């Protein structure tokens, strides 16, 4: 983009009168952003609900991140309808989604010893002869 339509009125007018490929690309960008934000919010909440069984602290953190991602998405919609700048909330949502993805990595690294010991147990059980 050569200008910011949410801040510059001339840019917004030029974008609203654009036709063809530019309008389609803007719609695809909006649709993919909506799908991404909904997926991140739902994924974080579902992961949090799953983690509540084993680790309430991580579960609550994931649920809080998911609900905050959802809240920033709803705030974006309200600001967009009011004609205000949505850049700050988009940056916050990107930061939260990145934090959520990083925390999944941390959880997987912490779970790795558990997974490897469980795999070793399963392997050792299959290598032993079965009693008759």
Instruction: Quick: pLDDT tens for 30-40.
Output: 788 888 889 99
- The DSSP code for 130 is P
pLDDT at residue 58 in the model: 87
> Model's pTM, two decimal places?
0.63
Element (H, E) at 16: helix 9-17
Please list the ranges in the chain whose pLDDT falls under 70: 1-2, 5-6, 14-26, 112-132
> What percent of the chain shows pLDDT beyond 70?
70
In the chain, what is the straight-line distance between the N-terminal and C-terminal CA atoms, in Å? Answer: 73
What residue spans define the domains of the chain? Answer: 9-122
pLDDT at residue 119 in the model: 54
pLDDT at residue 130 in the model: 53
pLDDT at residue 67 in the model: 94
- Cβ neighbours for 54, distance < 8 A, ≥ 6 positions apart: none
Closest alpha carbon to 44 in 104, 91, 94, 110: 104
């Amino acid at each position: 983009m050569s200008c910011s339509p949410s801040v510059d009125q001339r840019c917004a007018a030029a974008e609203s009168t654009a036709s063809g490929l530019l309008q389609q690309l803007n719609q695809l960008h909006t649709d993919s952003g909506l799908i991404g934000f909904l997926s991140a919010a739902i994924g974080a909440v579902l992961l949090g609900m799953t983690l509540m069984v084993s680790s309430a602290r991580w579960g609550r953190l994931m649920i809080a991140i998911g609900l905050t991602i959802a809240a920033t998405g709803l705030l974006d919609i309200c600001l967009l309808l009011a004609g205000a700048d949505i850049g700050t909330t988009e940056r916050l949502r990107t930061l939260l989604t990145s934090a959520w993805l990083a925390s999944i990595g941390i959880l997987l690294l912490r779970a790795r010893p558990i997974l490897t010991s469980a795999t070793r147990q399963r392997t050792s059980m299959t290598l032993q002869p079965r009693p008759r």
